[in-house]
Amino acid sequence: MLDVQALEGCKVLDISTFLAGPFCATQLGEFGADVIKVELPAVGDATRRFGTMTECGDSLPWLSESRNKRCITLDLRKPQGAALLQRLVADADVLVENFQPGTLEKWGLGYDVLSGVNPRLIMVRISGYGQTGPYKDRPGFGRIGNAFGGLSFLAGYPDRAPVTPGSATIPDYMAGLYGALGTLLALQAREKTGRGQVVDIGLYEPIFRILDELAPAFAYKGYVRQRMGPGTVNVVPHSHYPTRDGRWIAIACTNDKIFARLADAMGRPDLAGESRWGTIAARERDRTLVDETVGAWTATMDRADLMRACEQAQVPCGPVYSIDEIFEDPHYAARGNILRMQDPRMGDLAVPNLVPRLSETPGKVNWLGTSLGAHNAEIYQGRLGLSEDEMKMLAAAGVI
Q: What is the pLDDT of residue 140?
A: 92
Mean pLDDT of 276-283: 96
Cα 75 to its chain centre, rounded Å, is 27
Is 14 part of the annotated catalytic residue set?
no
Residue 123: which of 7, 32, 13, 8 has the closest Cα? 13
pLDDT the model gives residue 204: 98
Question: In which band, very low, low, confident or very high, does the pLDDT at 212 lie, cut at 50, 70 and 90?
Answer: very high
- In angstroms, the CA 363 to CA 27 distance is 9
User: Which is catalytic among the residues 93, 172, 200, 389?
Assistant: 172
**pLDDT tens digits along 12-36:** 999 999 899 999 999 999 999 999 9
Among left, alpha and beta (phi > 0; psi -120 to 50; other), residue 398 is left
- Put residue 275 in one of left, alpha, beta given phi > 0 → left and psi -120 to 50 → alpha: alpha
CB 14 within 8 A of CB 36: yes
pLDDT score for 302? 98
Q: N- to C-terminal Cα distance for the chain?
A: 41
Per-residue pLDDT of 221-275, as tens digits, reads: 999 999 999 999 999 999 999 999 999 999 999 999 999 999 999 999 999 998 9
* Mean pLDDT for the stretch of residues 144-170: 96
| Per-residue model confidence (pLDDT) at position 293 | 98
DSSP string, 32-82: T-EEEEEE-TTT--GGGGSSSB-TTSSBHHHHHHTTTEEEEE--TTSHHHH
Q: What is the DSSP string of 154-218?
A: GSS-TTS-----S-TTHHHHHHHHHHHHHHHHHHHHHHHHS---EEEEETHHHHHHTSTTHHHHH
CATH architecture of 11-209+356-396: 3-Layer(aba) Sandwich (3.40)
Is residue 236 within 8 A of residue 284, CB to CB? The reply is: yes
1 has pLDDT over 80:
no
Check pLDDT > 90 for residue 2.
no
Mean pLDDT computed over 116-142: 97
Peptide bond into 19 cis (omega under 30): yes
71-116 pLDDT, tens digit per residue, is 999 999 999 999 999 999 999 999 999 999 999 999 999 999 999 9
In degrees and rounded to multiples of 5, residue 269 shows phi and psi of: -60, -25
Q: Does the domain at residues 238-326 carry the CATH identifier 3.30.1540.10?
A: yes
Mean pLDDT of 365-379: 97
Burial class of residue 1 in the structure, from the number of CB atoms within 10 Å of its CB (0-12 exposed, 13-18 middle, 19+ buried): exposed
233 vs 238: CA distance, rounded Å: 9
Does residue 154 have a pLDDT over 80? yes
CB-based contact 85:4 (threshold 8 Å): no
pLDDT of residue 374: 98
Tell me if domain 11-209+356-396 and domain 238-326 are identical in fold: no
**Domain residue ranges of the chain, discontinuous segments joined by +:** 11-209+356-396, 238-326
| Mean predicted confidence (pLDDT) in 273-279 | 94
In sequence order, which residues have a C-beta less than 8 Å from that of residue 123 and are 6 or more positions away? 94, 95, 96, 97, 111, 114, 115, 196, 197, 198, 199
pLDDT at 3: 83
Q: 198-202 and 238-242: which strand pairing?
A: unpaired
pTM greater than 0.75: yes
Mean pLDDT across the chain: 97
